Structure 1
Amino acid sequence: MNDTGVTYKDAGVDIDAGNTFVKMIKPFVKATSRPEVISDIGGFGGLFSLNASKYKNPVLVSGTDGVGTKLKIAMMADRHDTVGIDLVAMCVNDIVVQGAEPLFFLDYFATGKLDPAKGAELVKGISEGCVQAGCALIGGETAEMPGFYQPGEYDLAGFTVGVVDREKIIDGSSITVGNKLIGIASSGLHSNGYSLARKVIFDVMGLGINDTLPGLSQSVADALLTPTRIYVKSVLNLLRDFRINGIAHITGGGLLENVPRVLPKGCKAVIRLDSWAVPDIFRIIQDAGKIDMAEMHRTFNCGIGMVLAVPEKEADEILIRLSGLHEKAFVIGEVAKCDAGTESVDLI
């Protein structure tokens, strides 16, 4: 407190630290720019000029998400440069499944006391995610809220907007019986199931954040902070040359709940569990926690981050293309007939 009375800084909000933070993140934001961006960071809103002439009937597609309790792992490990990638991934992967190209991204970063260096690490990750997705980081909000978060804690949320021609929207309605299901490999847990993973690893197994996971040559921090894979450029590449009838992003709910979201009436997915190798991290968690297989597939992606429903005659060519795009992909099943109202996933 000074002689002139209580200041905002005395109350816990440091405006100067906020200004320092903005200066630190400008290079990261600039690295994501696209030609359509017509504003600089620091304005009241981000400006993006949509080139509508590229589309016959453009439809905007939006998505929002967070990182969940994976942030707890970042805080425990004091490593903050990758969860921003997760934030972008969870949003852009959701809209590309409808055929949309992500155009721009905004973030919301809230903390009790702003640490400009830590915040810059977070934005560095967000910037890297935007580069991987090909979208521009055009703005965001940094909220310093003393007393609302415990020391060192923070939260992240993200928002993206993309565009797709109306006639090219992918909604699963063209999926037919006999379509092959192609699974694209995940990079690990991505950003789902962390409450269960944390309970098993820390409570049941009794491990610390820097301990080595039994059966892996990785520490707990390394295994759990592996960033979510961003599939945007690979999927958009496929859409230029192949017919993709439906796409499911395998997030919370796993294969059991996400694949049926794109199935039309009278269709079910039949997935063969022996068609891909489940990464060791999932088996370690399952064995240590004695978790039922159905619970695993309803909670985690179990090694499959995206599922595509494609015509049988194009499946082999799509696999070749995905390999060329440095994706691991497998035919994991097919679409079968079922009674209307019973659309589901059979794991065999």
Structure 2
Amino acid sequence: MDRYSEAGVDLDLAASVKARLRGLVRSTRRPEVIGAIGGFGGLFRPDFHAFREPILVASIDGVGTKLKIAALARRHQGVGEDVVHHCVNDIATTGAEPLFFLDYVGTSRLDPTSFHDILRGMARACRRTGCALLGGETAQLPGMYRDGEYDLVGAIVGVVDRSALLPRAGMRAGDLLVGLRSSGLHTNGYSLARKILFEEQNLTLDSRIPGCPLSLGDELLRVHRSYLPELRRLRRLELPVKGIAHITGGGLPENLPRILPKRLDAQIKIGSWRIPPLFRFLTKVGKLSQEESYRVFNMGIGMVLVAAADCAERVAQAVGGRIIGKLVPGEGRVLLC
């Protein structure tokens, strides 16, 4: 064993693990990709002939402490999908289509099985969304993480024509809010959820929560939903929206204001959708106020669309959503009513 391996960094293992990933990366390839993975930079030759004025949109995000649940359950493919879907949804709020994705994995010691599962999840999500997995970085950082734990971050670049850029300037009082259901916690609120469920309630991954059809581990590891298919359907049907908010950290109260003009408030009608059992349980046993619950968790709504009143019902029907509120004169806030 060489001195670097003794220090906790195995270069030979890293090389062999990366060599196994080439097939996964190739499965996400788009025509614009040039060359193969392994260079100092990923190469992408964009074809913007269909755009009058292309605007590039970039975003970066992670999975947070949901990774601790994945490590505890030894199930890693889902968080690979999570990080791609989260990033795709973020740029989709501008109307953008994904082009390529880059990942970062930092760990104390590289575990080939879990690493391959993470990349398999990312590749699967990239294929489904039409996004090229262009490259990434894998860092062995002994002493930075506990054994078996890792960090996962993704960066994405997409494109939208300037004429289709969201949010639009024409929002007005009376516009309606269309909510799309989340698949679960998605990738936010896990630090509080873990404290309530495992520290305070002494539950395990095998425990069952009233009303939940799956074990607690399965509920917590539900994959972050990608809303790209629904948004693409709206474009095909030529059903316009004025704005899109991805409900992530900060919940409805902090994410809707990111797309609102300062002269309007978003009035959310509590009770217009059924709160999933996991959120109801967390709120009850965690003794959370309504304000904190809606600020920490998505409470069952993962994306909100702003649509004119005369087409909002058609928008909701096309995406399988429901009307959850409206815009009213105000100051760019969210009102839970």
Given the two structures, how large is their TM-score scaled by the length of structure 1? 0.93
Match of 2:328 among 318, 336, 342: 336
Aligned to 1:252: 249
Report deviation, 1:310: 0.5
Deviation for aligned residue 1:172? 4.2
Match of 1:284 in 2: 281
Q: Which secondary structure state, in structure 1, belongs to the residue aligned with residue 138 of structure 2?
A: strand
Structure 1 letter corresponding to 2:264: C
Structure 1 unaligned spans of 5+: 324-328
Distance, in Å, in 1 between the alignment partners of 2:213 and 2:248 is 26
* Candidates 275, 278, 288, aligned match of 2:272: 275
Decide whether the 8 Å contact of 1:215 with 1:284 is kept in 2.
no
3-state SS of 1:54 partner:
coil
C-alpha contact (below 8 Å) 2:233/2:319 kept by paired residues: no
**How big is each residue's C-alpha offset from its partner over 1:220-275, in whole Å with a ceiling of 9 and x where there is no partner?**
21010001001123213313412110111000110111111111121111111111
5+ residue gaps, structure 2, are none
| Letter of the structure 2 residue corresponding to residue 307 of structure 1 | V
Partner of 2:64: 68
Alpha-carbon distance between aligned partners in 1 of 2:35 and 2:216, rounded to the nearest angstrom:
41
In 1: Cα distance, 2:303 partner to 2:122 partner: 21
What SS class does the counterpart of residue 217 from structure 1 fall into? coil
Counterpart in the other structure of 1:160:
156
Give the superposed CA RMSD: 1.3
Q: Does 1:37 align with 2:70?
A: no
Alignment partner for residue 226 of structure 2, among 223, 230, 235?
Answer: 230
Task: After the TM superposition, list the runs of 4 or more consecutive aligned residues in structure 1 that deviate by more than 3 angstroms.
Answer: none
The 5-angstrom pairing of residues 123-138 of structure 1 reads 123-138=119-134
Secondary structure of 1:268's counterpart equals strand
TM-superposed deviation, 1:147:
2.0
Q: Does 1:347 align with 2:329?
A: no
Q: Which amino acid aligns with 2:5?
A: K
| Letter paired with 1:276 | W
Stretch moving more, 262-271 or 301-310 = 262-271
State percent identity of aligned pairs: 46
Higher alpha-carbon deviation: 65-74 or 48-57: 48-57
Structure 1: how far apart are the matches of 2:126 and 2:230? 15
Q: Determine if contact 1:99/1:239 at 8 Å carries over to the other structure.
A: no
Contact 1:257 1:298 (C-alpha < 8 Å) held by counterparts? yes
SS in structure 1 opposite 2:311? helix
- Structure-2 residue corresponding to 1:326: none
After superposition, give the CA deviation of every residue in 1:114-144 in whole Å (9 maximum; x if it has no partner): 1111100010111122123221101001111
Q: Distance between the aligned counterparts of 1:148 and 1:346, measured in 2?
A: 42
- Which residue of structure 2 aligns with residue 146 of structure 1? 142
